[in-house]
Amino acid sequence: MGFKLWPQNVGLLSINEKETMQHLNQRLSSYLEKVHSLEQENAQLEKKISEWYANNAPSTLPDSSHYLRTIQDLQNQVFTANVDNARIILQIDNAQLAADDLKSKYEMEFSLRNSVEADVGGLRKALEDLNMQMQDLEIQVRCLQEELLQLKKNHEEEVNSLRAQLGARVNVEVEAAPSVDLNKSLAEVREQYENLMERNLREVESIFLARSAELNREVSSGAEQLQTVSNELTDLKRTIQTLEIELQSQLSMKSALECSLAETEATFGSQLSQLQTLIDNVESQLGQIRSDLERQIHEYKILMDQKTLLEMEIATYKNLLDGHDIQYVKSSL
- φ and ψ of 260, to 5 deg: -60, -40
Q: Quote the DSSP letter at residue 151.
A: H
The answer for residues whose C-beta is within 8 angstroms of residue 179's C-beta and 6 or more apart is 170, 173
Give the span between the Cα atoms of 156 and 244, in whole angstroms. 75
Beta strands in 218-314 (DSSP E): none
* DSSP element (H, E) containing 53: helix 15-56
Give the span between the Cα atoms of 160 and 193, in whole angstroms. 13
pLDDT value of position 8: 41
Share the mean pLDDT of the chain: 73
The answer for residues whose C-beta is within 8 angstroms of residue 10's C-beta and 6 or more apart is 18, 21
pLDDT value of position 2: 42
Nearest to 234 by CA among 113, 85, 330: 113
The answer for residues whose C-beta is within 8 angstroms of residue 275's C-beta and 6 or more apart is 70, 71, 74
pLDDT value of position 96: 80
Spell out the domain ranges in the chain.
1-57, 99-249
Give the span between the Cα atoms of 7 and 152, in whole angstroms. 189
Is 44's pLDDT higher than 80?
Answer: yes
Q: Give the number of other Cβ atoms within 10 Å of residue 262's Cβ.
A: 10
Whole-model pTM over 0.95: no
The predicted-structure confidence for 162-217, as pLDDT tens digits, reads as follows: 667 665 554 444 444 444 466 676 667 667 767 776 777 777 677 767 777 776 77
- CA 176 from centroid of its chain's CA atoms: 117
Give the span between the Cα atoms of 287 and 75, in whole angstroms. 24
* DSSP element (H, E) containing 223: helix 177-332
Nearest to 272 by CA among 84, 89, 76: 76
Give the span between the Cα atoms of 310 and 176, in whole angstroms. 193
Over range 41-58, report the average pLDDT.
74
What confidence tier does 150 reach under pLDDT thresholds 50, 70, 90? Answer: confident
Whether the CB-CB separation of 262 and 92 falls below 8 Å is answered with no
C-alpha distances out from residue 197 to 147, 201, 232, Å: 11, 6, 51
Whether the CB-CB separation of 21 and 5 falls below 8 Å is answered with yes
What confidence tier does 133 reach under pLDDT thresholds 50, 70, 90? Answer: confident
Q: CA angle at residue 189 from 184 to 194, to 5 degrees?
A: 120
Give the span between the Cα atoms of 295 and 241, in whole angstroms. 79
Burial status of residue 232 (CB atoms within 10 A of its CB: 0-12, 13-18, 19 or more)? middle
C-alpha distances out from residue 293 to 147, 238, 305, 308, Å: 133, 81, 18, 22
Q: Give the number of other Cβ atoms within 10 Å of residue 50's Cβ.
A: 11
